[in-house]
Amino acid sequence: MTSQNFILTLIRKVIFENFNDIDVRFNNDEILNLLKKEEVFDKTITVDDLETQFKKIEDDGLVRCIAQNFTTKWFKLYDIMEKLNCNSCNSDVFLGNDEPRICYNNECGSTL
């Protein structure tokens, strides 16, 4: 698993555990603060370093950006998320209900 992919999974996990409600808005700074509580997360990472990952979850159809104020981006979920387990790579997969049921962990791509 690459670190990019690893961080992406952590972001999805944090959203699932803290903001799994379609009426709740949350921002990239809040997510970063929650990521920093994860033991495995590199604490030197800044919100700018995560720009690609936030872009990715927007492009993948998990969240939409509803507002932006300088570097702070506000998001909302398109749909409630669920936690699945991929039997092929034995990883947790956190998906929005209207996202394709495909494991996004690197080099896996299995249908869940």
CA dist., res. 57 & res. 12, Å (int):
8
Measured from the Cβ of residue 22, the count of other Cβ atoms closer than 10 Å reads 13
- Contacting Zn ion (CB under 5 A), which of 45, 47, 84, 89? 89
Write the binding mask 47 to 86 for Zn ion: x where contact by CB under 5 A, - elsewhere. ---------------------------------------x
Measured in whole angstroms, how far is the alpha carbon of residue 51 from the centre of its chain? 12
CA dist., res. 97 & res. 100, Å (int):
8
Query: Which is closer to Zn ion, CB of 28 or CB of 105?
Result: 105
Per rule CB under 5 A, count of chain residues that contact Zn ion: 7
105 binds Zn ion (CB under 5 A): yes
